[in-house]
Amino acid sequence: MSVPKIELRAGETEPRTIYRDLLNLPDPVKLGITIRYFNHDDVDLYFQITGSATGYTFGTVNLGLLASGANAYQNLDEFASRAKPSAETSETITLTLKAYTDSGYTNLKWTYNRNVDVIWIKSDDPSYTQEVLNNFDDGTVQGWDVAEEVNCPAVDKHAHTDFVLSAPYCLRSYGCTTGPAGEIRYRVYKSFTTPNKDKVYAIIDLRLTTAIEEGAGSDGAYSKYLRIQRDTTILVHLGRAYDGVTSHYVPKQKWIRIVVPLPKNTTLELRIVYDYYGSSSNAAPRCGGMRMDDFKIISK
């Protein structure tokens, strides 16, 4: 049997594990994931992604044409759903990447399967110790800071009352530019020392925005990617690599939850990096923003 000349990755590192927190999730629950796929063949191919797992319903997404030797990211928002688990559990899902020689997706050439582990935790379970809770309800930023990374000289952060998960405040941050069209990127960050326990998780609830919600008129900014980093190490990447296309690649105007494991007994800086394209079509500031609420670090 021929070795497939295509490849699928479900994260920046392999093997890939997705961590999820059951607390306050709807039933059924939806699964979103960013994939990276590769065409190692000598010809251009049309790619398609689907999945399978016990109890899950998966969509099928046509990814379009990918040139020979190229690779691409694709964020699959609400790609799958399942009934909400009643307790902590672990399971495996299978992602299936298919490559076709035609745009009608009828002439299948390659198939590539990637197993992904999903670990469900329940952050309000009494077995966990809540090491950190930043809900910003005292009206302060509770030690979080903000910094420009690329082309956003106007950055700020403050406690705010809009789009909260738990009243009265969330953390609102943004990065803006009035310069020429191009890439914009900023981060919010904070240092922590983790406890000396075997399991340590950070639970991050975020809501991304662009210019239209920052009082800047028309939607002159377009989300490209969101990264969670431990210092400079990438833990989670959502979206695609930066480009100058007027399309959004990361879900915005909705709350998303990201759970990441952290090393025990370690001092680290947790960074939340937001990258977007500032269009020149809007003379007003082009801005990207984040809301964060009920940030937690738990352990056991």
Q: How confident is the model at residue 153 (pLDDT cuts 50, 70, 90)?
A: confident
- Residues 81, 198 within the same domain: no
Number of domains present in the structure of the chain: 2
Asked if residue 55 is part of any domain, the answer here is yes
- Residues 103, 213 within the same domain: no
pLDDT tens digit sequence for 206-264: 999 876 444 444 567 889 999 999 999 999 999 998 999 988 999 888 999 999 999 99
CB contact set of 292 (below 8 Å; sequence gap of 6+): 134, 144, 170, 171, 173, 188, 204, 205, 206, 207, 272
Coil, helix or strand for 212? helix
What's the pLDDT score for residue 146?
97
- Residues 233, 261 within the same domain: yes
- Residues 107, 149 within the same domain: no
Of 66, 91, 121, the position where a domain reaches its end is 121
Q: How confident is the model at residue 147 (pLDDT cuts 50, 70, 90)?
A: very high
Asked if residue 1 is part of any domain, the answer here is no
Q: Which domain holds residue 87?
A: 6-121
Q: How confident is the model at residue 114 (pLDDT cuts 50, 70, 90)?
A: very high
- Residues 19, 52 within the same domain: yes
Of 121, 138, 171, the position where a domain reaches its end is 121
- Residues 236, 268 within the same domain: yes
Asked if residue 254 is part of any domain, the answer here is yes
Phi, psi of 211 (to 5 degrees): -55, -35
Asked if residue 114 is part of any domain, the answer here is yes
- Residues 26, 145 within the same domain: no
CA 211, distance to chain mean position in Å, is 20
CB contact set of 191 (below 8 Å; sequence gap of 6+): 267, 268, 269, 270
What CATH number does residue 45 fall under?
Answer: 2.60.40.10
Asked if residue 147 is part of any domain, the answer here is yes
Phi, psi of 213 (to 5 degrees): -100, 0
- Residues 237, 285 within the same domain: yes
- Residues 19, 142 within the same domain: no
- CA distance linking residue 142 with residue 161, whole number of Å: 15
Of 66, 87, 121, the position where a domain reaches its end is 121
What CATH number does residue 221 fall under?
Answer: 2.60.120.260
